[in-house]
């Protein structure tokens, strides 16, 4: 029987894990900045805040950087189920 649909952009869970590592590096190197007023000088001072790792953030990162939707992999592909669980526990711990 012939295969149907488009070919996969992500061939293996290792490739998706590399994408997650790139997301993690991107989040850690690009913190959010919270500005507050310095009481002595009266100037605005930026304070970097660590951005938490989330599944939604990973999906947006994959869309912006790789131009693909990863939710289809998690919904339909059985081989990604275990990887999804590991990813979910990793983002909940914010390691």
Q: What is the pLDDT of residue 91?
A: 75
Nearest residue to 80 (alpha-carbon basis) of 5, 7, 8, 21: 8
Mean pLDDT of 58-86: 79
Would 8 be classed as within a structural domain? Answer: no
Total domains, the chain: 1
Q: Of all residues in the chain, what percent carry a pLDDT higher than 90?
A: 23
Residue 94 has pLDDT above 60, yes or no: no
3-state secondary structure of 67: coil
Q: Which residue has the tokens 């993690």?
A: 24
Distance CA 37, CA 15 (A): 44
Residue 47 has pLDDT above 60, yes or no: yes
Distance CA 35, CA 46 (A): 4
Nearest residue to 51 (alpha-carbon basis) of 33, 74, 35: 33
Q: What's the pLDDT tens digit per position in 31-42?
A: 999 998 888 888
3-state secondary structure of 71: helix
Mean of the per-residue pLDDT values of the chain: 81
Would 3 be classed as within a structural domain? Answer: no
Q: What is the pLDDT of residue 88?
A: 74
Give me the domain span that covers residue 32.
13-93
């Amino acid at each position: 029987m012939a295969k149907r649909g488009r070919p996969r952009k992500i061939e293996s869970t290792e490739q998706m894990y590399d994408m997650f590592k790139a997301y993690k590096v991107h989040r850690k190197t690009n913190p959010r900045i919270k500005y507050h007023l310095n009481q002595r000088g009266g100037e605005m001072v930026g304070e970097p805040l660590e951005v938490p790792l989330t599944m939604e953030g990973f999906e947006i990162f994959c869309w912006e950087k790789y131009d693909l939707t990863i939710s289809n992999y998690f919904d339909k592909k059985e081989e990604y189920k275990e990887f999804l669980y590991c990813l979910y526990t990793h983002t909940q711990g914010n390691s």
